Amino acid sequence: MSPVVTDPAKLPVLFQDALNAGDVEGVLALFAPGAGMRTVVGEHITGTEALRAEIAGTVAARGKLTNVPRHTIVGADTALLVTDWTMEVDDPGGERIAPTGTTANIARRHTDGGWRFTLLNPLGTA
């Protein structure tokens, strides 16, 4: 069982560290059941298996994520996390690329007191 994340502002760095370590299950532990994501290509995915496939693909592309948290805004049991990111990956041709962006992610506090992502949107408002 993963440790309980009691501060939602820590989620972006925990995500970064688990992804960079190639720990797909560690990344998935940061998501609530039924969570969703808008991928960097604009596809909307939901559920553990779709998230696992997306994260595993990033790990396979030798993804190295750098997250720089900008804002964490908390109200009730919901948090909006705005984070600047850079993701170094190998493109399909083997070239190393480093796209950047700003997220608009949502996390919720669950009954165990821990915070988990419910929605990830690495494209922010784009």
Q: Classify residue 108: in a domain, yes or no.
A: yes
pLDDT in tens, 21-58: 999 999 999 999 999 999 988 999 999 999 999 999 99
Residue 126: inside a domain: no
> Total domain count for the chain?
1
The strand pairing partners of 31, in sequence order, are 117
- Residue 37 domain-assigned? yes
Q: Identify the three-state secondary structure at position 23.
A: coil
- CATH number, position 88: 3.10.450.50
Q: Give residue-wise pLDDT tens across range 66-117.
A: 999 999 999 999 999 999 999 999 988 989 999 999 999 999 999 999 999 9
pTM for the predicted model, two decimal places = 0.94
Reported as a single tens digit per residue, the pLDDT across 3-14 is 799 999 999 999
Q: How far apart are CA 22 and CA 41, in angstroms?
A: 21
Does 84 fall in a domain? yes
Domain that holds residue 23: 8-120
- Angle (CA) 6-31-4 rounded to 5° is 25
Does 83 reside within a domain? yes
